[in-house]
Structure 1
Amino acid sequence: MFGIYLKRELSRRKKAALVIAMGLALGIALVITVDSVSAGMQQAQDKVLKSLYGLGTDMTVTKARSAPKAGSSGQGPNFKFDARSSSKTSQSSDRVMTQGGQALKSSLVEKVTSQKGVDSAVGALSLNVTKVDGSFTQGKAQSSTSSGSSGSQRQGGPGGGNDGGGGQPQVQGGGADFNVNSYTVVGVDVTDQGLGPLAAMKITSGRTFTSAQTNAKVAVVGKSYAKEKKYKVGSTFRISGTKYTVIGIATPDSSESTTDVYLPLKQAQTLGDAKNKVTTIYVKATGSQQISAVKKEIQSNISGTTVTTSSDLASTVSGSLSTASNLAAGVGKWLSIAVLAAAFLVAALLTSSAVSRRVREFGTLKALGWPSRRVTRQVVGESVVNGLIGGGLGIALGLAAAYTVTAISPKLTAQLGNSDGGGMAGPGGGGPGGGPGRQASSNTLQIALSAPVSVTTIALAVGLAVTGGLIAGAMGGWRASRMRPADALRSVS
C-alpha cells in the first residue's frame, strides 16, 4: 500500500518532484566537483614534492652552512689559466663544489636509521660542477713607424716629445674565448636506490646502477641534460679529468628534475673531495603517523641538523598550483557548503509548501483512520525518493564536471622555494650555497591538473542526498501531522 501510494503521488507531482531533485542535484554536483578538484590539487602537489624528495621519502636531514669565521676569505677554488708561448692554447678546468648545506659524516646515516620510528635512511652528496673551457690567443708585439708630416706630429715616449722615428712596441691582437657550463651532480647510494633522489626517476634508456658499482666510473644522466649534450647510452664525458660512461638515461616520473648527472656515491665523494661525507640524508618512517615523532627524535638526538618533512616543503610551493589549491580548499568548500545548505532549505520549503496544498488529501486520509505517524512516513518517503533522484542527477553532473576538468587538463605552475634561509629543499637541500636545491627554488614546474573521483566522494554524495530528503521530509511531515480532518472540510468550497 505504501509503495503504490508513493508511486502514484510522485507521478502526479512530477514537476514539483523534479524541481526539488534538481535543487539537491546542483548542490551535490558542486560538492563532488570541488572535492575531486581538491583531490587533483593534492595529487599535483604530491608530484611536485616527489620530484624533489624521491618515492617513499618522508623527510630529509641536512645541516645549514656555518658563517665564515672572522678573517677567513671564504672563497672557494679559483680557475687558474696562463697563456703559454704558443700562439693559441686551448685550456679547460672543472670546479667541483659540494652544495646544499654543510657536509655531514656518512656515519650519521646509520645513526639516523637507528632512531625510533625510522624504517630506512640513505645518504646522498650534491655537487655543483662549473666547467670553463676555451682558448687564449697571444698577441704580437709590433713597432709603429711614422713618415712625412704625420710623423712630425706624433707624440714620442713618456717625455711627451715628438718622435720622428719609430714608436714604442705595442701588443696587437690576442685575447681569450671561454665557455662556462654549470651542471648538477648527485652521488647516490647504489645499494639502496628505492629511497632518495633517483627513486623519482624512471630509466627510459639503458639501465640503472647495480649494487656492485659502488665505485664504478659510470653515470646516469637526466633526459633534458642528455638531450642538451647529445648524450646516449655508451657516451663518455669527463669531470676533473675522470672519464665516465653513460649507462642510462633517466626521466622524471612527473614535472622536471633539477639534477643533471647521477654518480655512485663514492665517485661523487672523490670528485668533491668529501670522503665519507654526504649533504642530505633521506629518511623513510615506519608509518605516516610517525613522521612528526621521528622529526623530533632526530632533532633532539643529532644536534645542529635540519629535518624537513613533506608538509614543510608543501608550504614553500607557490605559483598557480598554490593559488588554485587555496581557492579549492577555502572558497570552493565554503561555496559548496553554502549552496548545499541553500538546496536543503529550498527542498524543505518546497516540500512544506506542497504539503500545505494537500490539506484536503491528508485531512481525508486522517478521517479514514490514518494515524499521524503514517501520514508523516508517507511524506518522508516521498522526500527521500526525491532526494535519491537528486543524488543520482547530482552524481551524474559532478562526474561530468570532473571528467571535463581531467579531459582539459589545465596546466598549473609550481615554484619551489625555501621556507627559511637555512631550510632545505630537494636533493641538494637548497641552503645558502645553492646547488640542486637552489635550482629547485628558482625552477618553475608545470603540472597537468586532473579531478579524480573516489568511492568516498560518491558515498558522500549518496549520504547528502538521503540527508537532504530526510530534512525536507521531516519539515513536510511535521506540518502534515498537525492537520486535522476538520481542515479538509473547511477546504471544501
Structure 2
Amino acid sequence: MFGIYLKRELSRRKKAALVIAMGLALGIALVITVNSVSAGMQQAQEKVLKSLYGLGTDMTVTKAQAAPSGNASDRPKFDFDAKSSGSKEQSSDRVMTQGGQTLKSSLVTEVAAQKGVSSAVGSLSLNVVKVNGSFTQGKAKSSTSNSQGGPGGQGGGTGAPQVQGGGASFDVNSYSVAGVDVSHQELGPLATSKITTGKTFTAAQSSSKVAVLSKSYAKENKYKVGSTLKISGKKYKVIGLATPDSSESTTDVYLPLKQAQTLGDAKNKVTTIYVKATDSKQIATVKTTIQKNISGTTVTTSADLADTVSGSLSTASNLATNVGKWLSIAVLVAAFLVAALLTSSAVSRRVREFGTLKALGWPSRKVTRQVVGESIVNGLLGGALGIALGLGAAYTVTAISPKLTAELGSTGGNGGGMGGPGGGGPGGQAASAAKNTIDIALSAPVSVTTIALAVGLAVTGGLIAGAMGGWRASRMRPADALRSVS
C-alpha cells in the first residue's frame, strides 16, 4: 500500500519532485566538483614534493649553514700560471659542499635506529665551479718622444716602455654533484630519476670511479655512456644517463658516495640524511623524536616544504580549500532549505488529501511516513542527478587539464633547507634560495568516498525536507479537508 501510493503521488507531481531534486542536485554536484578538484590539487602538490624528495622519503635531516667566518681561505680561489703562452689552455676546478654544514656519516646509523624510522640513507651534495681558458701575453714596446731641451732648444729621448696587447679569456661553468649510497638507492638523490640509457650503480661500485649524468646535462655537454668526465684531475667513466620522473632535477652528476667524499675532501661526511618512516601517519612524531635525540640537526618533512610551494598551484589550492568549501556549504544549506520549503508548500496544497486520509483512519505517523518517504525518493533522485553533474564537471576539468605553476622557494632560515642535492632532495632549492618553476596539469579524480558523501547528502536533504513536510502534514485534521472544499 505504502509503495503503491508513493509511486502514484510522485507520478502525479513530477514537476514539483523534479524541482526539489534539481535543487539538491546542484548543491551535491558542487560538493563533488570541489572535492575532486581539491583532491587534484593535493595530488599535484604531492607530485611537486616527490620531485624534490627521494622516492619514498618522508623527511630529511640536515644541519643549518654556519655564518661566514670571514676567513679568506673559505672563499673560492683559482691559481693559474700567468706566464704561460696563449697556446696552452688552463683549467681549474673548485669543489665545495652545499646544502648546509656536513654531518658525520655515523649519524645515518643513529637516525636509522630512532623509533619509527624504517630506513635512513646519507648523501653528499657538492658544487663544482670549473674555470678554463687561456692567457695571452702582452708585448712591451718603447716609444720615442721629441721635446725641447738644452741650450739649442732641441733634444730627444726614449719614453717608458708600454705593454700592448695581451689579456685573458676564461669560461666559468658551475654544476652540481650528488654522492649516492650505491647500496641503498631506493632512497636518496637518484631515487626520483629513471635510468634511460646505460645502467645505474651496483653495490660493488662503492669505490669505483664511475658516474651517472642527468640526461639534460649530458646533452648540453655532449657526454654519452662510455665518455670520460674529468673533475679536479680525476677521471670518471659515464655508465648511465638519468631522467627525472617528474619536473627538472637540478643535480647534474651522480657519483658513488665515497668518491664524492674524496672529491669534496669530506671523508665520512654527508650533507643530507634521507629518512623513511615505518608509518606515514606518524611522520610528525618521528620528526620530534629525531630532533630530541639528535641535537643540532634540522628535520624537514613534506608538510614543511609544502609551505614553500607558491604560484598558481598554491593559489588554486587555497581557493578550492577555503572559498570552495564555504561555497559548497552555503549552496547545500540553501538547497536543503529550498527543498524543505517546497515540500512544506506542497503539503499545504494537499490539505484535502491528507485530511481525507485521516478521516479514513490514517494515524499522523502514517501520514508523516508518507511525506518523508516521498522526500527521501526526491533526495535520492537529486543525489543521482548531482552525482552525474559532478562527475561530468570533474571529467571536464580532467579533459581540459589546465596548467598550474608551482614555484619552489626557500624553506626559511635553516640554511640548508631540506638539505638535499637539488633534484634528489629539496635542499639544493633552499640552499640557493632560487625558485624552481614546475608546470603541473590539474586533474579532478573522484573517489568512492566522495560518491558516498554525495549519497549521504542526498538522503540528509530528503530527511530534512521530509521532516518539515511531515510535521506540517501531521498537524492537519479531518476538518481541514472539509474547509478546503469550495
TM-score, normalised via structure 2 length: 0.94
Cα offset, 1:425, TM superposition: 2.5
Q: How many angstroms does 1:246 deviate by? A: 2.1
Label 1:74 to 1:317 Cα distance change in 2 as closer, same or farther (>3 A).
Answer: farther
1:29 to 1:456, Cα distance in 2 relative to 1, 3 A? same
Cα separation, 2, equivalents of 1:313 and 1:163:
80
Identify the range of structure 1 (114-123 vs 310-319) with the bigger mean alpha-carbon deviation: 310-319
1:479 matches 2:478: no
| Alpha carbons 1:285, 1:291 under 8 Å: kept | yes
Structure 1 stretch 135-144 or stretch 18-27: which is displaced more?
Answer: 135-144
Q: 1:219–1:247: 8 Å Cα contact kept in structure 2?
A: yes
Task: Say whether the 8 Å CA contact 1:184–1:436 is kept in structure 2.
Answer: no
Going from structure 1 to structure 2, the CA distance change for 1:89 and 1:230 (only over 3 Å counts) comes to closer
| CA distance in 1 between partners of 2:24 and 2:226 (Å) | 63
Aligned to 2:317: 325
The one-character-per-residue Cα deviations of 1:3-54 (angstroms, maximum 9, x if unpaired) are: 2222221121111111111111111111111111111111111111111111
Using the TM superposition, give the Cα deviation of residue 223 of structure 1 relative to its aligned residue in structure 2, in angstroms: 2.6
Relative to structure 1, is the Cα distance of residues 87 and 426 closer, same or farther in structure 2, using a 3 angstrom cutoff?
closer
Counterpart CA distance in 2 for 1:52 and 1:76 is: 29
In 2, Cα distance between the equivalents of 1:164 and 1:25? 106
Runs (5+) with no aligned partner, structure 1: none
Give the RMSD, CA atoms, in angstroms: 2.1
Q: Provide closer, same or farther for how the CA distance between residues 350 and 278 of structure 1 changes in structure 2, counting only shifts above 3 A.
A: same
Q: Return the alpha-carbon distance in structure 1 between the equivalents of residues 121 and 434 of structure 2.
A: 23
- How far off is 1:463 after superposition? 0.7
| Paired residues for 1:14-413 under 5 Å | 14-69=14-69, 72-73=71-72, 75-145=74-144, 164-413=156-405
Aligned equivalent of 2:482: 489
**Gap regions ≥5 residues in structure 2:** none
Distance in structure 1 (CA, Å) of the matches to 2:451 and 2:295: 48
Report the residue type matching 2:317 in the other structure.
S
Query: Of 413, 427, 434, which aligns to 1:421?
Result: 413
Shift of 1:115: 1.0
- Which of 166-175 and 395-404 deviates more? 166-175
SS in 2 for 1:197: coil
TM-superposed deviation, 1:270: 0.8
Moved more, 306-315 or 99-108: 306-315
What amino acid does structure 2 have at the position aligned with 1:473?
Answer: G
The 3-state SS of whatever aligns with 1:415 is strand
Check 1:180–1:333 CA distance in 2 against 1; reply closer, same or farther (3 A cut): same
Tell me: CA distance 1:228–1:436, structure 2 relative to 1, closer, same or farther (3 Å): farther
Residue deviations 1:375-408 (CA, integer Å, cap 9, x gap): 1111111111111111111111111111111112
Aligned partners of 1:428 and 1:437 also within 8 Å: no
Which amino acid is the alignment partner of residue 301 of structure 2? T
The whole-number CA distance in structure 1 between the counterparts of 2:154 and 2:163 is 21
Tell whether the 8 Å contact from 2:212 to 2:253 is kept in structure 1 after alignment. Answer: yes
Deviations 1:132-182 (A, max 9, x none): 111111112223356xxxx569xx9xxxx9974554332211111111111
Residue 468 of structure 1 corresponds to 461
- Aligned equivalents of 1:164 and 1:481: distance in 2? 130
Letter in 1 for 2:341: L
CA contact (8 A) 1:258 1:439 kept: no
Counterpart amino acid of residue 11 in structure 1: S
What's the CA shift for 1:355? 0.8
Amino acid in the other structure paired with 1:492: V
For 1:386 and 1:487, how far apart are their aligned partners in 2? Answer: 26
SS at match of 2:95: strand
Residue 85 of structure 1, CA deviation: 4.3
Secondary structure in 2 matching 1:258: coil
CA distance in 1 between partners of 2:170 and 2:135 (Å): 8
Aligned-pair CA distance for 1:184: 0.8
Secondary structure at 2:197's aligned position in 1? Answer: strand
Report the alpha carbon displacement of residue 437 of structure 1 after superposing the two structures with TM.
3.9
What SS does the corresponding residue of 1:88 show, helix, strand or coil?
A: coil
Residues 426, 314 of structure 1: CA spacing in aligned structure 2 closer, same or farther, 3 A cutoff? farther
Residues 415 and 441 of structure 1 are in contact (CA less than 8 Å); yes or no, is this contact kept in structure 2?
no
**2-side partners of 1:171 and 1:67: how far apart?**
43
Inter-partner Cα distance in structure 2 for 1:206 and 1:464: 55
- Identity among equivalent positions (%) equals 81
- One-letter amino acid matched to 2:452: A
- Give, in whole Å, the separation in 2 of the partners of 1:399 and 1:481: 38
Give the aligned length.
Answer: 479
Conserved? CA contact 1:127–1:435, under 8 Å:
no
Change (3 A) 1:7 1:232: farther
Partners of 1:20 and 1:235 in 2: how far apart?
72
Q: 1:85 to 1:415 in 2, by over 3 A?
A: closer
Q: For residues 84 and 457 of structure 2, what CA distance do their matches in structure 1 show?
A: 86
Amino acid at match of 2:6: L
Distance in 1, matches of 2:329 and 2:435, equals 37
Q: Distance in 2 between matches of 1:471 and 1:74?
A: 77
